[in-house]
Structure 1
């Protein structure tokens, strides 16, 4: 195959346009550098009527909302998922690692939860506290000035709480708690479990002339047409271009490798165009890999040469190792006091208005590190056909199942808004034995060798998931509610999600 090489020399080539790539693009372009951004997916702008899904009804989706083929619904803004046709990955030795990829300008910042928390001092020095992993060579005070800049740049709502290891920032006004969240606050605080306003990157007041203010449609996962929530494309790359930055976008471009010279130094990248299936080379003085942790590792491991026989930057054999993901377990419950509610609009932002930061003393627990609790519930808009069904609750409480007309409407009104959900999201321990590597026999549809994952949870993550479930049950008991599922067993790792699912 003939490789077409560009004659243009860039100051910087950035692979990936998500959180890292978007910020690198903005900072470097604003500094006057010539920047090339190489993205594996298409261009995306949520304000484009052809791409916008915000405020659409379920019946406007394919199959009229009866089902969907995308992980978070047909209107979710992520182009991709845990499985992408023609772009496989493999697992080793019984591994159940699920790799989520978002192939589009802005990457996963288009559909994430916008939860924007800072590392605290302890997060940088965990080994000194619990003996696991390694301390970072930097501390919170080194990073704080950049956290401050990001808060002011993207807009984060919240409140100053002065909680240990939960640093405060520069906050916009938070939205008020909704009714189910007020119940959660009361139930949690009864057990001395803290609850504070969420810290999320959504604009509750004007930040600049390029972005609108959140109008509380509760659909941030669809990407915001007025740019009120943070996404790398709308809040970093587009402004960099608008401000006169020298930014060239190369979309639908699957990077094969980083090219190097005889000294082993990076000279650019080679990529396959998804549009014409031809291979191209870009030249740059500096290459920034920001294609997500795993995709960046894949590119490095595939960038072999005489100077880098084990992959670029991999003389230590550490590229791809110490892979770790957030932990997650969730439960839902029925709250009798929330039955027969008045119906009104309480959509709010696309996520929780309050959350629980980590509060436990790990010296008294059988796991290190911690987790926070996210809360959901309320009077959400009707969704897909697999969503709220009053007969599920009738069946759970051994009530008459079925009905139509007036009886169905009565059941819907009775149960609407009466359930609440909680999810724990925590930190796992990074281990050398958890890694991704190049599969020696499998390539994607572009002929690029794919990743193979080897990953196992440790007993610490399993114990953490049990603590999550015990906490959920205690809070629901305090609320006078009933759990809607049996407590997960040890055999199921206490409901701990497979790595990669969070």
Structure 2
């Protein structure tokens, strides 16, 4: 097959335009380097009226907002899914792993919850803490300066609480708790569970001329047309271009492999253009993979050569190993005290929770290591089909018919809507070598690229953590004077409602960092041990997940790695 090779040589090629790729684009372009961004999906700008879904109403669609090709509803800004047409993946028998891909400029940052938590000092030293897993080769003090920079550049609301493992930052004013959250605060207090303002990357205050301020439409999952919330394209890549950076974006471009020379150093990437189905090559001094933990591992494993017969950067045979996702379990309760709500009460707010509970437990007294935080949902945001007023859940609880059509439906909605409070536990699983992704030798995607096969199972430790979540949720519902919905409390037969691996969409660890090339893939600056001009700046290098969402740490480590790359390029070391 004839491959078209570009004559232009970039300083840096960045594969992927999400959190890690966007941050590297901003830092490297601002430093004066010529950058190519290669994205597998199409161009996207949330301010473009042709693609904008913000402020559309359910009645604007014959589906009333129900999802068609979007798993999180018709208006959710997620051009991707668990299953992407033409891009399959396979699983080992007995594995339930689900792999989310987002195919658009900005990647997953266009529709995520924007929960923006720092890892704490304990999170970088898991093995020292409880004997499980491994310690990171870096600590909180190494990353803190970059967390600080990310807070100031992007903006995050919250409050300084002085909690040891939930570090303080530079916060914008948080929105006030809504009524269902006030009920939650009261219920949590009875059980000694802390509740603090959420830490989320939406602007409640003006920080620069490029971005607007949140006007409380509550639709952050649709990506913000005034750039008030954090998305990689609107907050990092577009400003890099605006500031005069030399940034060329290649969209609808599926990277096959990292190309190398006779010495085994990277020379660029090879990609398939999804529109004409032809293969192209780009050249650069440095290649950065930020395609997501699993996608970057796939690219490395498919980048085989005489110098790298086991895949690029895989002399340790650890690329794809130690894959792990956040644990997750959920519950919801009907709270009679929230019935017959007065709609005059101000329910304005961001698209997500205004308060949450950081981990409070003492693991030395529990039967599982690490912890989880609690996310809270409820209130009277605008519903659409399948969300908010769940008649089936009420029918199951009351043993009678709720809802229907016409006046009966309207009366019941007024009576019950806003009376449900839900909880999501998001915790840390232990990284294990026998949870991994690898290349399936029998399957390729529509572009002829070998696909990933997943092998992943939870251990008893994660199941016991999920049980603790469910016990806590039931106690909270009781404290709020409520009754549990969704079929009651999940039991052992369903692993206490523990979500399948991958479903929380926090997969990390496939290219773990470390000091020893025999037991890790990258060094402490996200640089491949085997190839010094290739860097991984998504969540692949994570040694452990922590009980926090991983995006803020991806951003901080990407900035840290970018500073190192800038120094190495200027000194002509790579």
Task: Please say whether Structure 1 and Structure 2 have the same fold, judged by a TM-score greater than 0.5.
Answer: yes
Change in CA separation of 1:382 and 1:135 when aligned onto 2, cut-off 3 Å: same
Task: Give the Cα separation in 1 of the matches to 2:109 and 2:490.
Answer: 32
Task: Give the Cα separation in 2 of the matches to 1:199 and 1:402.
Answer: 36
2:496 is the counterpart of 1:494: yes
Q: C-alpha offsets along residues 236-271 of structure 1, whole Å, 9 cap, x if unaligned?
A: 000000000000000000000000000100000000
Q: C-alpha offsets along residues 55-110 of structure 1, whole Å, 9 cap, x if unaligned?
A: 10113236344553321011111100100011000001311100000011001011
Q: CA deviation at 1:410?
A: 2.0
**Alignment partner, residue 297 of structure 1:** 297
Q: Contact (CA 8 Å) 1:214, 1:349: kept in 2 or not?
A: yes
Q: CA deviation at 1:405?
A: 3.8
**Alignment partner, residue 7 of structure 2:** 7
When the two structures are superposed, what TM-score results if normalisation uses the length of structure 2?
A: 0.86
**Alignment partner, residue 278 of structure 1:** 278
Q: CA deviation at 1:416?
A: 1.3
Q: CA deviation at 1:323?
A: 0.2
Q: CA deviation at 1:137?
A: 1.0
Q: What is the correspondence of 1:241-252 to structure 2 with a 5 Å cutoff?
A: 241-252=241-252
Q: What is the correspondence of 1:382-397 to structure 2 with a 5 Å cutoff?
A: 382-385=383-386, 387-390=388-391, 392-397=393-398
SS in 1 for 2:501: coil
**Which shows bigger deviation, 22-31 or 389-398?**
389-398
Task: Give the Cα separation in 2 of the matches to 1:200 and 1:401.
Answer: 36
Q: CA deviation at 1:404?
A: 4.2
2:435 is the counterpart of 1:434: yes
Unmatched runs of 5 consecutive residues or more in structure 2: 505-574
**Alignment partner, residue 33 of structure 1:** 33
Q: C-alpha offsets along residues 205-227 of structure 1, whole Å, 9 cap, x if unaligned?
A: 00100000000011000000000
**Alignment partner, residue 114 of structure 1:** 114
When the two structures are superposed, what TM-score results if normalisation uses the length of structure 1?
A: 0.98
**Which shows bigger deviation, 26-35 or 396-405?**
396-405
Q: C-alpha offsets along residues 301-348 of structure 1, whole Å, 9 cap, x if unaligned?
A: 000000000000001100000000001000000001101110145141
Q: What is the correspondence of 1:29-178 to structure 2 with a 5 Å cutoff?
A: 29-61=29-61, 63-65=63-65, 68-178=68-178
Q: Contact (CA 8 Å) 2:328, 2:425: kept in 1 or not?
A: yes
SS in 1 for 2:323: coil
2:476 is the counterpart of 1:475: yes
**Which shows bigger deviation, 60-69 or 117-126?**
60-69
**Which shows bigger deviation, 230-239 or 132-141?**
132-141
SS in 2 for 1:136: coil
Provide the alpha-carbon RMSD of the alignment: 1.2
Unmatched runs of 5 consecutive residues or more in structure 1: none
SS in 2 for 1:296: helix
SS in 2 for 1:156: coil
**Which shows bigger deviation, 387-396 or 372-381?**
387-396
Q: What is the correspondence of 1:330-479 to structure 2 with a 5 Å cutoff?
A: 330-344=330-344, 345-385=346-386, 387-390=388-391, 392-401=393-402, 404-479=405-480
Change in CA separation of 1:66 and 1:147 when aligned onto 2, cut-off 3 Å: closer
SS in 1 for 2:63: helix
Q: Contact (CA 8 Å) 1:157, 1:202: kept in 2 or not?
A: yes
Change in CA separation of 1:412 and 1:402 when aligned onto 2, cut-off 3 Å: closer
**Alignment partner, residue 254 of structure 1:** 254
Q: C-alpha offsets along residues 114-141 of structure 1, whole Å, 9 cap, x if unaligned?
A: 0000011100111001101111111111
